[in-house]
Amino acid sequence: MGNIGAFFNNVMSEMRKVSWPRRKELTKYTVVVLSTVIFMALFFAVVDIGISELFRWFIAF
């Protein structure tokens, strides 16, 4: 059990050394990540629908 306590003490020590982003930076980064995820999801949805329609057209031909 002593090892677990030492582990968590080391974790807390390292967490205090972290340079955490300010609220403005965090908001900006969050918006960038969410925008990128939404864009990529829409992009791949369009590509998937396009490929599906292409195969349907090809099979019906």
Q: Where are the domains of the chain?
A: 21-61
Residue type, 17: K
29 close to 21: Cβ distance less than 8 angstroms: yes
- pLDDT at 60 > cutoff 90: no
What does the pLDDT read at residue 1? 58
Model confidence pLDDT, tens digit, residues 8-48: 999 999 999 999 999 999 999 999 999 999 999 999 999 99
What does the pLDDT read at residue 61? 79
Distances (CA, A) of 61 to 51, 55, 58: 15, 10, 5
pTM given for the model: 0.67
